[in-house]
Structures are given as structure tokens and as C-alpha cells.
Amino acid sequence: MMVSAHEAFEPALEFVRRHLLSDERVVDGKTVSASSRRYRFEHSLRVARIGRLVAQGEGLDEHLLALGCLLHDVGKFDAQRPVDHGRAGALSANDFLQELGLADSQRLEIVQGIAMHTDDLWNPRPDDEGTCCDSTGRPYLVFDHEPSVLAQSIGDCDNIDRFGAYRVADTLKYVKFLELSTDQQRSWLSSYQTKLDRLWEQECSTATATRLWREAVDVQRAFFGRLATEVTA
């Protein structure tokens, strides 16, 4: 029995919730923290919402893009190396969607987008940075065609959320900003502001995604610019 992308969303939501929040998620022999699992699940929800906005702005299939965005990080904890987590997720998403009954063309379109969302490579990496298989030894999928705009948009939507307001707090925590000396804070802020300026120039696969991307980066530019003036005051 075939299901539409719209009908697949709720079952996919439960699949992602169950998979990402499970205390069986293990990386390097250690159980992934509850906070990391929760962040990954909530990030997936935000990316799905962004996917709907991009699809509406570009005339893409809203339900299909939202579905791909929801599933994009399902393999976050299932790769041998982090750079491959998109390809690991493509395996899980492909199995799930095939069993659910999504049309083959739609399934393969978003699975390819999931596979490539981390590094823009939909097939296994040809260098030593990645591996050929996920953490259980399953070989990654191989695609023989270029990705569609919708498939490419999954990575765009992921990046938009990664530079939104939520990640301001996450970034400060990650670099242990409050533990740095004043000179170290100034140095880090200068470097990060330069990075944000460079990232702002990047273009996404669609005009809508590019606009949302730059709005997200501008949130960080405004905050860290203000923070820099206060640290140097």
C-alpha cells in the first residue's frame, strides 16, 4: 500500500523520536547524553519547519521536503565517523520509507538529500575522512544521478537552523566562553565574527533558503557584534 509524503510525516515523527531519544544510542562505546539526544530531536523538528517555509517559497513539494528534513539526522549517532552521519541516516530512512510505502521516486529523492546533507557528497567519501559503512557494517547507498533541488534543500534547511538563535547559546557553551580570559574572549569573538561574515556570503540552492540563511546568520552577527563591543568596553 502506497502512502503520500503527507501521510508519512506522523509515522516518521514517531520513528525519529523513538530512534534519536533512545538510550541505546551509543558513540565510541559511550551512551549519548540525554541532552544531546533531545537537542538532535528538537533540531530535526525545527529543520522540518524550515523545510516547509523553503518549499512554500519555491513551489517545491512541501510535504516531501518537510519529511526529508525531519529524517535528515536520524543517523547522527550511527556512523563510524561523524562526517558520514548523513549517509548512515540515509540507510535508516530508506529502510523506514520503503517499509512504510512511500513512492520509490520520492523515497530516493529525499534519501539522497539526507545522504549528502553533511558534506554535499551523496556517495561514500573517496578519501580517508569517511568510511564505506555505518557503525553496524552496512555499506552506504550509492546514487548514479545528481540530486534534485529538493534533495539539496535538505542540507540548506539544516544549515539555517544550525546558525539560528538557539545555536548562539549552544556555541557559547561549546567554546566555554565564560571560562575564557578577556583577551581570549576578544580573540575568539574577532575570529568568529570574521567567520560569520564569510558564511553570510554563501548561497543556498534556492533564493528562499538563501534569504533565510542570511537572516539566521544576521541574528548571530548582531548578537556577537554587540557582545564584542561589551567585552572590549
pLDDT of residue 1: 81
Residue spans of the chain under pLDDT 70: 233
For the stretch 112-159, pLDDT in tens is 999 999 999 999 999 999 999 999 999 999 999 999 999 999 999 999
pLDDT of residue 223: 97
pLDDT of residue 73: 99
pLDDT of residue 185: 98
- Which of 142, 28, 19, 154 has the alpha carbon at shortest distance from 82? 28
pLDDT of residue 233: 64
For the stretch 12-28, pLDDT in tens is 999 999 999 999 999 99
pLDDT of residue 171: 95
CATH top-level class of 5-144: mainly alpha
Q: What does the alpha-carbon distance between residue 71 and residue 111 come to, in Å, rounded to a whole number?
A: 9
Where in the chain does DSSP place strands (E)?
26-27, 30-31
What's the CA dihedral at 180, 186, 190, 193 to 10 degrees?
Answer: 70
pLDDT of residue 164: 87
